[in-house]
Structure 1
Amino acid sequence: MPRKADTRRNPQGKAPPSWVKPQLTRLVDQPPEGPNWLHEIKFDGYRMHARIDGDDIRLLTRTGLDWSHRYRATISALRDLPVKTAYLDGELCAVRPDGVTSFSRLQAAMDEGRTGDLVFYAFDLLFLNGESTTQLPLVERKTRLQAVFAKPTPGVHFTEHIVGDGPRFHEHACRMALEGTVSKRVDRAYAPGDRGIWVKSKCLNREEFVVVGWTDPKGSRPHIGSLLLGYYTDDGSLRYAGRVGAGLAVAELKRMSRRLAPLKATRMPLDIPPPRTSRFGSPLELSRVHWVKPQVVVEVSYLTWTEDNLLRHVSYEGEREDKPARLVKRQVPHP
């Protein structure tokens, strides 16, 4: 957890909160309409809070871990903002040349130590210059946040939005091959947890799963054949979701092999054994499976779910270190 803030350098005295539980988004099948909602692009990165208290600047994960040491360039960029104290909610991303954020590119930047080009997209303001703003309506919080970014600051950006016309905004986002959109009630205070006042609509099927095992490789493929995936249900049971082999480069196969080796388990962690056969894909040979303790979370893209609740046409995107395995559940869209 973050250390207690040093307020000696803050002339206003009142420090930002040490950490705020983030407001979450609920998956819906289509974006809402009407003037009570504003709409933003859904970024593909790490949800991150930026806490500024004078010279004490920190980046905190969605569970409150201090990751400031990993992103020194972003810390330096936040130092250039014209504030004494602030607490920003946003997303840390890697951006492709076409302007689209990419989680796989973010992971590659972290693995290779190239974090200087990452961008922090700020989309909410919870504290500013000694004053909490969490109880203000969202549209007013964003107005104050936009004023903080009146002067362009490389490495940190304000997240633009539109009010109303959610379906058309979402249509344009999908046409640009973006991950999706996020819609938020303009009149509501910041409410940690999932309250349904922030909702997301997907263009691409991207989701997090827990690695429950891996299979032996075949042919010339090294280290790992495929990763076996699972998710937790509301009653706490761990269910099988399918497997992924596509999208794993040789370097990532080697890294993931080393990552999973210490987690090998003698017993299957799933509460219900995986099916031996499926209408799609080759049969799962349990003799080739190595089970692991369910601790590693990965993000994958996929075409659809089959009728027997297995992922189809799955591709690996990267490991997610910012989300505990126990919080990984299957996302079912709300109407």
Structure 2
Amino acid sequence: MKKPSRPQPLLRDTDAPIRGRPRKRRDPQQPQLALDPMPERIEPCLALLKAKPPVGPEWAFEIKWDGYRLAVHVEGAKVRIITRGGHDWTHRFPAIAAAAKDLGAATLILDGEAVVLDGEGRSDFGALQRALGGRSGKRPAGEVIFYAFDLLYLDGHDLTGMDLSERRHLLEDLSLDPSGTIRLSEDVTGDGQALMEAAREHGLEGIIAKHRDRPYRSGRTDDWLKIKCVQSDSFIVVGYEHSTSARGGIGSLLLAARRGNNFIYVGNVGTGFKESDATYLRKTLDILKTKKAPVAFEGRSKDIVWVQPTLIAEIEYRAWTDDGKLRHASYKGLREVQDNAAIMDLAERL
């Protein structure tokens, strides 16, 4: 299989690769440490949404990739690929699993994002879904690339207590092929606001800021921050508006976000569907029909078909209205049921 070509740098003009640099001297005693047991799973560190990038030399910046967050576990000849929610998806990413066996480490855990790149080197969530054969598809996706941005375990040592700068140094020591299936997600030093402008110019979703001097802490903390050029989040589908003129008979999807243990209606989306999307959605949603609305709804419900809150849609949008509804929303694709942890929580809105 032909390897994907190396994408051009996205956040600066020079063709020279962006490389992270060790910020601290490595501890010469480290190889003498007692071996740590290989964890079955490490709960991922999640980025906190912010309106502006942070300022200061303690911050490093990366591209925000639009794909599936994965952890790649290597233990001898055994490879496991685990989703953010803890599900084993090794069978869905055979190319990543094969590449992981060639990394030269006896044991390791990589944290990163599986993506498919467009012709400009930008991650394309819809293309990723198509490569996998759609939602719950079984197709092996050879064109999927894994961008590794953290190293959590290496050759018997738990690295989560180390600072990010130290973990990055060890990650770079793996010498990942910049045109291979598993690549290094390059970090960038400099003015975060200038990097945001560069991200906008290149049509990227945004950037991630990471504090260099912090250990790896599971859950959503302010160690990692996400700053978006374009808003994109996951919402649960709670119904659809029936239309006799629209393709597939779906005029729009009705969406909800989390608030505690409840779903709150946040508006609808009626653009971004391909004909195949609309046909699949109608067929699937009609299986999930329910007479009772799963959310409080004050609008006109004559043509609305309520469904069980099962499907998770990735939605791009411009802003929020004053009454808490999505503005200029566009459909990007469906996420897996196992990705329910990704559904937007209104408590995290700025």
Q: Which residue of 2 aligns with 1:260?
A: 285
* Contact persistence 2:67–2:114 (CA under 8 A): yes
The code of the aligned residue for 2:270 comes to G
The code of the aligned residue for 1:226 comes to S
- Report the 3-state secondary structure (helix = DSSP H, G, I; strand = E; otherwise coil) of the residue aligned with 2:99: helix
1:216 and 2:242 matched: yes
The code of the aligned residue for 2:171 comes to L
Query: What are the superposed Cα offsets for residues 263-306 of structure 1, whole Å, 9 maximum, x if unpaired?
Result: 21110000x21x42xxxxxxxx4121111111211111112212
Q: Which residue of 1 aligns with 2:194?
A: 168
Same amino acid, percent of matched pairs = 35
Q: Distance in 2 between matches of 1:327 and 1:159?
A: 25
TM-score, normalised to structure 1, is 0.88
- Report the 3-state secondary structure (helix = DSSP H, G, I; strand = E; otherwise coil) of the residue aligned with 1:260: helix
- For residues 28-107 of structure 1, the aligned pairs below 5 Å read 28-107=50-129
Q: 1:202 to 1:265 in 2, by over 3 A?
A: same
* Contact persistence 1:125–1:144 (CA under 8 A): yes
Query: What are the superposed Cα offsets for residues 21-70 of structure 1, whole Å, 9 maximum, x if unpaired?
Result: 00011000101010111110000000000000011101100011000011
RMSD: 1.9
* Contact persistence 1:294–1:325 (CA under 8 A): no
Residue 222 of structure 1 and its aligned partner are, at CA, apart by: 2.1
Query: What are the superposed Cα offsets for residues 75-115 of structure 1, whole Å, 9 maximum, x if unpaired?
Result: 11111212111001000001001100011111111126361
Residue 162 of structure 1 and its aligned partner are, at CA, apart by: 1.9
Residue 218 of structure 1 and its aligned partner are, at CA, apart by: 2.7
- Report the 3-state secondary structure (helix = DSSP H, G, I; strand = E; otherwise coil) of the residue aligned with 1:222: helix
- Of 333, 338, 347, 1:318 maps to 333
* Contact persistence 1:139–1:187 (CA under 8 A): yes
- Of 243, 247, 256, 1:230 maps to 256
Query: What are the superposed Cα offsets for residues 207-242 of structure 1, whole Å, 9 maximum, x if unpaired?
Result: 1111000121232522322110011113x3321111
* Contact persistence 1:216–1:288 (CA under 8 A): yes
Q: 1:157 to 1:331 in 2, by over 3 A?
A: farther
Q: Which residue of 1 aligns with 2:49?
A: 27
Q: Which runs of 5+ in 1 are unaligned?
A: 1-11, 277-284
Residue 328 of structure 1 and its aligned partner are, at CA, apart by: 3.1
Q: 1:224 to 1:150 in 2, by over 3 A?
A: closer
* Contact persistence 2:70–2:81 (CA under 8 A): yes
Q: 1:205 to 1:152 in 2, by over 3 A?
A: closer
Q: Distance in 2 between matches of 1:44 and 1:78?
A: 21
Q: Which runs of 5+ in 2 are unaligned?
A: 1-33
- Report the 3-state secondary structure (helix = DSSP H, G, I; strand = E; otherwise coil) of the residue aligned with 2:45: coil
Q: Distance in 2 between matches of 1:298 and 1:331?
A: 19
Residue 316 of structure 1 and its aligned partner are, at CA, apart by: 0.4
Q: Which residue of 1 aligns with 2:225?
A: 199
Q: Distance in 1 between matches of 2:122 and 2:318?
A: 20
Q: Distance in 2 between matches of 1:107 and 1:150?
A: 25
Q: Distance in 2 between matches of 1:331 and 1:73?
A: 37
Q: Distance in 2 between matches of 1:13 and 1:187?
A: 24
Across the two proteins, how many residue pairs are aligned to each other? 312
Residue 307 of structure 1 and its aligned partner are, at CA, apart by: 1.9
Q: Which residue of 2 aligns with 1:141?
A: 167
* Contact persistence 1:15–1:53 (CA under 8 A): no
Q: Which residue of 1 aligns with 2:276?
A: 251
Q: 1:192 to 1:266 in 2, by over 3 A?
A: same
The code of the aligned residue for 2:282 comes to S
* Contact persistence 2:235–2:343 (CA under 8 A): no
Query: What are the superposed Cα offsets for residues 161-210 of structure 1, whole Å, 9 maximum, x if unpaired?
Result: 12342221222111111000000110010000012110000001111111
Q: 1:333 to 1:166 in 2, by over 3 A?
A: farther
TM-score, normalised to structure 2, is 0.84
Q: 1:130 to 1:76 in 2, by over 3 A?
A: same
Q: Distance in 1 between matches of 2:188 and 2:288?
A: 46
Q: Distance in 2 between matches of 1:241 and 1:123?
A: 32
- Report the 3-state secondary structure (helix = DSSP H, G, I; strand = E; otherwise coil) of the residue aligned with 1:171: helix
Q: Which residue of 2 aligns with 1:7?
A: none
Q: Distance in 2 between matches of 1:164 and 1:207?
A: 27
Q: 1:197 to 1:317 in 2, by over 3 A?
A: same
